[in-house]
Amino acid sequence: MNCEQLSDRMPEVARGETEWGVAEREHLAGCPECASEWRLVRIAARGSVPIPELDLDAITSGVHRAMAAPAQVVPFRPRRRVSGWAVGLAAAAMVLLAVAVWGPTGDAPDVAAVPAREPTLLPELDGLLEGELEVILASYEQDEAAEQPLGAVPRLGDLTDAELELLMEEVEG
Amino acid sequence: MAPGLPTDPQLVAAWRGGDEAAASALVRRHAPVLGRYLRSRGAASSELEDLVQEVFIRAFQGLDGWRGDAPLRGWLFRIAINLLRDRHRRGGGRIMVELMEDDRVDPADPAGELEAREARERLQSGLATLSPLQRDVFRLRIEDGLGYDEIAAALETTPGAARVHYHHAVRRLKECLE
Ligand SMILES: [Zn+2]
């Protein structure tokens, strides 16, 4: 039993879906790091809303109705061969439709159309020294900063002292 | 997964082969947690069924976009996340948050309620200081019960990166509670 294994079990125990085993209890009692994480996880789990009561029959039949509607493409039906000019016309129509619906800078509404981000390989956390973990975390923070959309406005807190001084000079004249 | 029950990939394959009951089984398996997710992110109770239904319609229409080796639940969450984003955009950026406090799990220990409330408030302030990705990872892990592989599929990252974000969030939030 190590800290990582205990950490992995905390959310489900905190939500009451399972209980601690003997070895886990012993570790928790003797490890201040895990004890403080356990306190946090318990508090956070109390923010979890209960599973709502849903009419699953209504949802299921609604899904089947939508999938059976003539406008929908049924994925498991074999596709008919279509001639080249028909494909061209269809593609042109799709482009027009996309521009009309989403606009030139709009986002496609369907998650399935979004290409998955290239996965990044990460070493196992257990084997890392504190300093190494910090370096990895710092690189992720940078990645997140780089992912900000173009034109995102920097906040004052993001500016260096020199940049802030320049800005203040401009504002004050 | 209880032994003897078909796995998600088996059900997906059956549905692709024309078995409607397989689609129903997938809905029954994943709809409750999706409903909880949507509710906890501000959807009104009255619209939950429509939203969950929409998630499954988008999922079944776009199954070609699902990598069979990624957990289906994570992929369904990704669709739910995008669905909320679309609604948010269509609503002109207005947030459709409904106060959730009344729906929260009742504390089993009423005597500790005041202290717990104070701790929750400190936690809320701490969550606001995290990056959006760290916050999403933390909440999906604790409140929605997703594993790192499912979180990775939901947030388009890797399980290793999700784990790093989670630990970073835990480290910062522990400081907020001290
Ligand atoms: Zn420990």
- Considering the domain architecture, whether residues B55 and B28 belong to the same structural domain is answered as yes
Q: Torsion angle, CA of B146/B149/B154/B155, rounded to 10 degrees?
A: 110
Total domains present in chain B:
2
ipTM: 0.85
**Average pLDDT of chain B?**
88
Closest to B61 in 3D by CA, of A78, A76, A74, A111:
A74
Residues B144 and B75 in one domain: no
H helical segments located in chain B: 8-16, 20-40, 48-61, 72-90, 113-129, 132-142, 148-155, 159-177
The CB-side HSE value for B80 (13 A sphere, CA atoms) comes to: 32
Query: Residue B168: closest CA among chain A residues belongs to which residue?
Result: A137
* Structure tokens belonging to residue A155: 């906040």
Mutate to test the interface with A, among B57, B97, B118, B166 (most CBs of A within 10 A): B57
* Cα(B162) to centroid(ligand 1), Å: 20
Mean pLDDT of all residues in B120-128: 93
Do B75 and B124 fall within a single domain?
no
**Report for A37-46, A62-71, A115-124, A134-143: range of highest mean pLDDT:** A37-46
- Looking at B98, B129, B158, the residue that finishes a domain is B98
A10 in a structural domain: yes
CA distance B142 to B40: 12
Q: Can you give the pTM of this predicted structure? A: 0.68
Based on the fold, state whether residues B73 and B150 are members of the same structural domain: no
Per the CB < 8 A criterion, the answer to whether B7 and B66 are in contact is no
The Cα A3–Cα A84 span in angstroms is 61
> First-to-last CA distance in chain B?
37
Residue B147: pLDDT band by 50, 70, 90 thresholds?
Answer: very high
Distance CA A33, CA B80 (A): 35
The answer to whether the CB atoms of A67 and B23 lie below 8 A apart is: yes
The pair of three-digit structure tokens given for residue B21, joined into one six-digit string? 């009951």
Q: Record the tokens describing residue B102, joined without a space.
A: 């009344």
B60 is written with which tokens? Answer: 């079944």
Q: How many domains does chain A have?
A: 1
